[in-house]
Structure 1
């Protein structure tokens, strides 16, 4: 005689989220460590040299923090008005920042001294970046101009007046070529500059919305722009054509950053999310959620940390948890396990066997409701599974028992001659989970069984019982109405798709005759709106 098999609860469990290598990797980010500044965090940048310090630009201060201790290493407060966009040079020895007065200042990160002060812009300078050869600096300002400065001589090399028709809030330098860079303005335009060409602005592209951030990929052949709710990817080699558009945010995208040595792209937005994309496919591989709108973002080298600045001055620091390598003790355990299996495979005769069949039946313990089902105690099985804990956190267990009772034809017997509170608790469970797709069919049958119980037995219809039955009635009615609406939408979509396919076929066949509309058969038209309730 075969042993009693426990109920299969797994078929009613929700589908698990698809676990990808990126999900496992980015889930290693530890719980955020928070810093609080006074106002909005304008810009975050990591030092390319060791140690991996990061700089925060906030109000009239530019502060360099230590990633490990979260303490301020340098405080550059030589600003009369708001500072913007402080970022490191490629070697980490210098730091450039713009300000509200229209100046660009270059600091020595070791001594905090101002080495250069560039004056010439007539409006706030929001971004300033060093060129690839470290000899020049480009500044992007609200006076709609872009200026190229010589760091050594402290003089302007080139001025691009009226490069845009609105504020210029974004720019990026080519990572390998020192004579190429791009700018993005609130007019939605993207300008490409080549200082060697007679016409400095070689291309002008349209992003479609105000450009908030932009960057080049490490090889320099592709650049990415962010503005509105879209991230756009452009191919510089093939004439700056648009490669793809990503619309994963539902509010304005404010910042971009690269991670995993340029293999991952991160975008932060006002919707409190940071989306992580695979640069090879431009598909979203992970999402980070923050307590407020994200306006600045920085990723440390080798993904040591992800730092996000928010609109309320909160700074979130998520450090990557480094997994330790397997120790020699683990190797000893593995070798000991192999030796034990080899001993098990050698019986007393000393002759080795091909395979050892282990008895796992002892570890297969039955649940309490399984024990009651084995003894045909259906009421006790239902009472045992309908505990508040199971109803709240494990509804799949309750539905599995209900389904088993239905298969045995015993659900009606399990609900007969019960107290009112038991019937009301069962009806409440039906009303709560009837709309879930995984539970809908068995719970509809269970609701039918409840009505059969009331039809065949006499009940004292008190107020709580009548209220429970009214709830069940409303739930059933709303599900039927929802099904009707979905079927109507399905029918409308089928007509739209069918019309589109007919138009495509007529265009491919070069048919210029007007198609004669055909009338749908009444039976086919009505079949789209029939609701079948088991």
Structure 2
């Protein structure tokens, strides 16, 4: 039996360096952007959601209790994470809202306004359930307790941090000590500790189990830790674990160690004030939004910027909406000074496929080819391999199946250059493959010629017109690190064969000069890379000492 003739296997090159990192690809996948202008063009001052907790809460297991709360001027809007439409709009106050927080069961929304009033609303009926008027200046923070369904905290421009119980008529705890506006705050860990940031450039850690008071006359200080920073505080964000804190002080992002009571990192990646912080990717990423219109993504291991997005207006609020029991990042919500709310959605694989199929169907309908589209869709869905064998059953164990190989000399789908290579016509094969301009085919043929020691034969006895296609290919590929060894071998062979004939063709001479220039550039880049490697090795050695 004759040996079967198979096609020449194409050369498989290693993939080049990716232009995008995994983090950049992940955040670029938030591509389905929806821009929602506010009715009164007021700046969007706050965005928060209870989406992930609504799915996992013991009191509510349906996504109908999930909301994205957005404050803009005197309006408090509750958006559905499923439809991205405002399902509720609350306008029960003439003063602008500054903060809002929906309880994890989705039944009550707590909001603070410019008048200093804190109100609790029923999310179903929008009725006012409770009103507190102890704060005499704007309230910028309202947050529900992480464990207690009736507990909440607030921070105000009157310099106080207060705890509330929904059934109570007055605050149950007050924290005194800030000397200026308190614009940010949050619960830490299980809720026994709180953190606040003020325009007095301090971050204070509070313990509600000590100090404070149940009356407004006792102004004892319950601060258990204090950090003095270089600029007013606009946002604070406790990180998972409860031992690290991110704080936005001016244009700097400061990472604070609550165990060692010291700053870990001071990051200067924004050009203007950072206004908002948000967690993403199960707490492994921190997003910052600033007045420079940038949203930057930091990884929390070594605090490097791994991705970024640019918006047309100063960013005032940022939040990442996680959905489902796995808390998968689904929506990136950004509120801007111009009154625009941007919601970028990351679609899952199945949703992407369904959306593309829907777009094809609509395109076919518009083009009047819907019948053809239906036939192709039915063919994909209903025709399997068993229908193509005309009813024959090949699934039994006793079936004899014989697979015949290709007969020698009758190779199907054989290209012309492969036929010439089989016949030993190396010069013709090289000319034919260069005419195709197929880089993979050219690399495959050149590799085969080197393996057969036929490269000199293929390159010999060429005039300037026959030599120029190869020189042009070498000029394009000589700097590609994936096949620099192959292209260098070919270029060396060309110079050995035709070096003594330079000066006879201006076109060939120009191509050789260009090739020399490309090689010099590659050498310079390589020298710079080795110099950089040497400096990094020196820095690592110095750090190790």
**TM class by smaller structure:** 0.5 to 0.7
> What corresponds to 2:490 in structure 1?
446
> What corresponds to 2:226 in structure 1?
204
Q: Deviations over 1:362-384 (max 9, x none)?
A: 99966665444333444554455
Residues 117, 135 of structure 2: 8 Å contact kept: yes
Pairing 1:161–2:176 present: yes
> What corresponds to 2:246 in structure 1?
225
Pairing 1:127–2:141 present: yes
Residues 102, 110 of structure 2: 8 Å contact kept: yes
Equivalent position to 2:480, from 426, 433, 436: 436
Pairing 1:417–2:462 present: yes
> What corresponds to 1:11 in structure 2?
13
> What are structure 2's unaligned runs of at least 5 residues?
55-59, 212-220, 352-380
> What corresponds to 1:180 in structure 2?
193
Question: How far off its partner does 1:197 sit?
Answer: 1.0
Distance in structure 2 (CA, Å) of the matches to 1:364 and 1:248: 62
Residues 297, 308 of structure 2: 8 Å contact kept: yes
Q: Deviations over 1:61-103 (max 9, x none)?
A: 3211233333221122345454333220233222123344444
Distance in structure 1 (CA, Å) of the matches to 2:394 and 2:230: 67
Distance in structure 1 (CA, Å) of the matches to 2:459 and 2:243: 67
Distance in structure 2 (CA, Å) of the matches to 1:469 and 1:39: 64
Distance in structure 2 (CA, Å) of the matches to 1:441 and 1:173: 60
Pairing 1:267–2:286 present: yes
Pairing 1:346–2:398 present: yes
Question: How far off its partner does 1:23 sit?
Answer: 12
> What corresponds to 1:64 in structure 2?
78
Residues 212 and 479 (structure 1), Cα distance of their counterparts in 2 relative to 1, 3 Å cut:
same
Q: Deviations over 1:471-520 (max 9, x none)?
A: 3232222222233334444555556666777xx4xxxxxxxxxxxxxxxx
Pairing 1:45–2:53 present: no
> What corresponds to 2:215 in structure 1?
none
> What corresponds to 1:90 in structure 2?
104
SS of the equivalent of 1:73 reads strand
Residues 4, 406 of structure 2: 8 Å contact kept: no
Residues 162, 172 of structure 2: 8 Å contact kept: yes
> What are structure 1's unaligned runs of at least 5 residues?
325-329, 349-355, 505-534
Q: Deviations over 1:101-134 (max 9, x none)?
A: 4443433322334444444556543321122423
> What corresponds to 1:305 in structure 2?
330
Equivalent position to 2:517, from 455, 471, 474: 474
Residues 298, 307 of structure 1: 8 Å contact kept: yes
Q: Deviations over 1:413-441 (max 9, x none)?
A: 34863564x75554444344433322222
> What corresponds to 2:348 in structure 1?
321
> What corresponds to 1:112 in structure 2?
126
Residues 107, 113 of structure 1: 8 Å contact kept: yes
Residues 491 and 4 (structure 1), Cα distance of their counterparts in 2 relative to 1, 3 Å cut:
same
SS of the equivalent of 1:471 reads helix
Q: Deviations over 1:356-405 (max 9, x none)?
A: 99667799966665444333444554455446874xxxx45544433434
Residues 193, 203 of structure 1: 8 Å contact kept: yes
Equivalent position to 1:257, from 253, 258, 279: 279
Name the structure, 1 or 2, with higher relative contact order (CA <8 Å, separation 6+).
Answer: 2
SS of the equivalent of 2:101 reads strand
Equivalent position to 1:296, from 312, 318, 321: 318
Residues 59, 82 of structure 1: 8 Å contact kept: yes
Q: Deviations over 1:172-194 (max 9, x none)?
A: 225644x4322244677543222
Report the count of equivalent residues: 465
Pairing 1:75–2:118 present: no
> What corresponds to 1:508 in structure 2?
none
SS of the equivalent of 2:491 reads helix
Residues 109 and 367 (structure 1), Cα distance of their counterparts in 2 relative to 1, 3 Å cut:
farther
Question: How far off its partner does 1:346 sit?
Answer: 2.7
Distance in structure 2 (CA, Å) of the matches to 1:72 and 1:117: 24
SS of the equivalent of 2:224 reads strand
Question: How far off its partner does 1:273 sit?
Answer: 5.0
Residues 171, 215 of structure 1: 8 Å contact kept: no
Equivalent position to 1:141, from 156, 163, 166: 156
Residues 213, 255 of structure 1: 8 Å contact kept: yes
SS of the equivalent of 1:110 reads coil
Distance in structure 1 (CA, Å) of the matches to 2:430 and 2:71: 62
Residues 92 and 489 (structure 1), Cα distance of their counterparts in 2 relative to 1, 3 Å cut:
closer
Distance in structure 2 (CA, Å) of the matches to 1:142 and 1:364: 80
Residues 99, 126 of structure 1: 8 Å contact kept: yes
| TM-score (normalizing by structure 2) | 0.66
Distance in structure 1 (CA, Å) of the matches to 2:444 and 2:4: 21
SS of the equivalent of 1:481 reads helix
Distance in structure 2 (CA, Å) of the matches to 1:206 and 1:365: 74
SS of the equivalent of 1:95 reads strand
Q: Deviations over 1:125-147 (max 9, x none)?
A: 33211224233432223554323
Distance in structure 1 (CA, Å) of the matches to 2:528 and 2:209: 63
